[in-house]
Chain A
Amino acid sequence: MTLIRIEDLDISFGKGADRVDAVRDVSFDVTRGESFGLVGESGSGKSTILRALAGLNSDWQGMINYDGEPLASRKKLAFYKKIQMVFQDPFGSLHPRRTVDQTLREPLAIHRMDDRERRILKVLDQVRLGLEFRFRFPHQLSGGQRQRVAIARALILEPETLLLDEPTSALDVSIQAEVLNLLVELRQTLALTFILVSHDLGVIAHMCDRLAVMRQGRILEFADGGVLADGRFHTEYARELFSASQGYSAETMA
């Protein structure tokens, strides 16, 4: 069953000569429970799509359907509860002067949810953060722990979809492994739908059933897990990305 349907999405910034078409003519579907990847280099428009979906940017053209309903530019509170976002940099996305407890309490207050104490304890357990972290400030946490807080903040509203924008790019590889394991496990136990944005094909290959390769605002091609294993992409650019993800190769290339 299709949960998210995007058709002919166009997003641009600026006007006249300064106009930048960040997303052009993008269409894709995501099935409920699927883990869908968007891969591309900086400026390819992948994060811009996520931001539009999350309601952080309401200035777009085209159609976005969520669970059968078109996304209007002004959305209801109930919509935001279903779809939550985790950002790349846990150093920037957490308020430096708020404790973990305060950070987790805020979405509950906004959505007027009760039983706050129990929900906070439950979500800390879900992201494997011990109770000793509950009253700490972000600077008292490591990068991996901060990202767990960011995931907890998204999960506390019990959403059905998580939008993950480079969730492990700022982390060391051993910490990345822990956070990816946590995300896989949460997706299984909570039956979540993921849209994962990354420049790292390895991360996408590990996490996603299907992916779209983006460049300069457009989707170049779709691929499934099998293609990620052998790198048999259709477009030259996607093959180039794939080979770059395998490390350095001295062969000449434009």
Chain B
Amino acid sequence: MNLPETLLSVRNLSVSFEQRGRRIEAVRGVSFEMGREKLGIVGESGSGKSQTGRAVLGLSEGKVEATRLRFQDLDLLTLGRRIRRDLRGGKIGMVMQDPKFSLNPVMRIGKQLVEALRAHEKVSASTARHRALAALEAVQIDDPERVYRAYPHELSGGMGQRAMIAMMLLPGPDLLIADEPTSALDVTVQQTVLRIMDRLVQERGMGLILISHDLELVATFCDRILVMYAGQIVEMLAADRLHDAEHPYTRGLMSCLPSAATRGRPLPVMSREGVQP
């Protein structure tokens, strides 16, 4: 292992929205650093986890402020729009929740992959095609030629998500931000897609931010977890130490999961009033 390299550094990030003259703070003073690791951001709806991811990608519709927002040696706060755009889908890839919405429905998969690659690299059409097919193979698609020719609606959810991951991997990103990448998939397909991401992250030495509402999943998949609540990080811990979590919100999230062990007694309910981020 090399020395831990800081891939992304976020300090005092806040994202706010103006709504009918009122200021709504979706993210409030979030700070973290990450290297080439699997970082999980977990929280319920409205916790600000997706807005944090979008702010890093430069896709936030709100007002983004921070004392520091750096990716490698680039200052994301002052970067010009064009460079920012090159970065997105280039050095920073993203995978969204539902491939039905994130893929272009009227363009064949192959063409979308080629387009994604050629937006970031000057390569010939035949090289692009060759690399797109190789990328589809890398995400364990058995018949890459068929998928290359297919339209998104001709693919299952799991296949679509693999194609999406293949597209993101083409320009060789250093950081992949995946926002609920498997929430729209069946549980067994979810495992397959996660294994593919896991392997790719290891082989290519990428950093990965996995944003999810599923604590169990994040804890078993990632190296480190940030737990968000009401726009703030309430707890930051190593994934295998989840059961030592101290914050009442994290503990509440864990204890309210139903299972065979909770049968016959009421699930603990969180009193939201008592929780202070």
Tell whether, in the assembled complex, residue A173 and residue B188 are in contact, meaning their CB atoms are under 8 Å apart: no
- What string of 1s and 0s marks CB contacts (under 8 Å) between A204-224 and chain B? 011100000000000000000
Tally B residues with Cβ within 8 Å of A: 34
Interface flags, A165-184, vs B, CB<8A=1, else 0 = 00000001110111011001
By a CB distance below 8 angstroms, the chain B residues around A245 are 187
Residues of B within 8 Å of A172, CB to CB, are: 44-45, 213
Interface digits, A223-241 against B, CB 8 Å rule (1 contact, 0 not)?
0010011000000000011
B205 within 8 Å of A by Cβ? no
Q: Which of A41, A180, A240, A248 contacts B194 (CB 8 A)?
A: A248
Q: How far is the CA of A42 from the CA of B198 in the complex (A)?
A: 24
Q: Do residues A180 and B267 form an inter-chain contact, with CB atoms below 8 A?
A: yes
A248-B194 Cα distance, complex, nearest whole Å: 8
- B259 in contact with A41 (CB, 8 Å): no
Flag whether A246 is at the interface (Cβ < 8 A). yes
Q: A173-B215, A202-B258, A228-B260 are in contact. Are A181 and B266 (CB under 8 A)?
A: yes
Contact A241 B188 (CB under 8 A): yes
Does A131 touch B at the CB level, under 8 Å? Answer: no
**Residues of chain A with a CB closer than 8 A to B253's CB:** 173-174
A176-B191 contact, Cβ under 8 Å, with A184-B266, A247-B219: no
Q: How far is the CB of B191 from chain A (nearest CB, A)?
A: 5
Distance, CA A181 to CA B33, complexed state (A): 39
Given A41-B188, A244-B190, A250-B198; A173-B257 close (CB under 8 Å): yes
Inter-chain contact A181/B267, CB cutoff 8 Å: yes
Secondary structure dominating the interface of B: helix
Where chain A touches its partner, the secondary structure class is helix
List residues of chain B with CB within 8 A of the CB of A229. Answer: 260-261
Within 8 A of A (CB), among B41-81: 44-45
Residues of B within 8 A of A178 (CB): 269
Nearest-Cβ distance from residue A69 to partner chain B, whole angstroms: 32
- Which residue of chain B has the shortest Cβ distance to A179 in the bound complex? B267
Given contacts A206-B262, A249-B220, contact A244 B256 (CB under 8 A): no
A202 to B217, CA, bound (A): 13
- B162-205 CB mask vs A (1 if < 8 Å, else 0) is 00000000000000000000000011111100110010000000
Residue contact B257 to A249, C-beta cutoff 8 Å: no
Q: How far is the CB of A68 from chain B (nearest CB, A)?
A: 30
Instruction: Evaluate contact between A177 and B260: CB separation under 8 angstroms.
Output: no
Inter-chain contacts of B220 with A (CB < 8 A):
246-249
Q: Which residues of A contact B260 (CB under 8 A)?
A: 205-206, 225, 228-229
A173 CB → nearest B CB, Å = 6
Q: A174-B252, A177-B269, A253-B191 are in contact. Are A246 and B216 (CB under 8 A)?
A: yes
Closest to B253 in A: A173
Chain B CB within 8 A of A163 CB: no
**Do residues B191 and A249 form an inter-chain contact, with CB atoms below 8 A?**
yes
CA distance A206 to B256 in the complex (A): 11
Q: Which of B186, B194, B219, B257 contacts A202 (CB 8 A)?
A: B257
Add 17 more A-B contacts to A42-B186, A185-B266 (CB < 8 A).
Answer: A173-B213, A177-B256, A177-B258, A177-B267, A180-B258, A199-B187, A200-B258, A205-B258, A205-B260, A205-B263, A206-B259, A206-B263, A240-B188, A241-B187, A247-B220, A248-B191, A248-B217
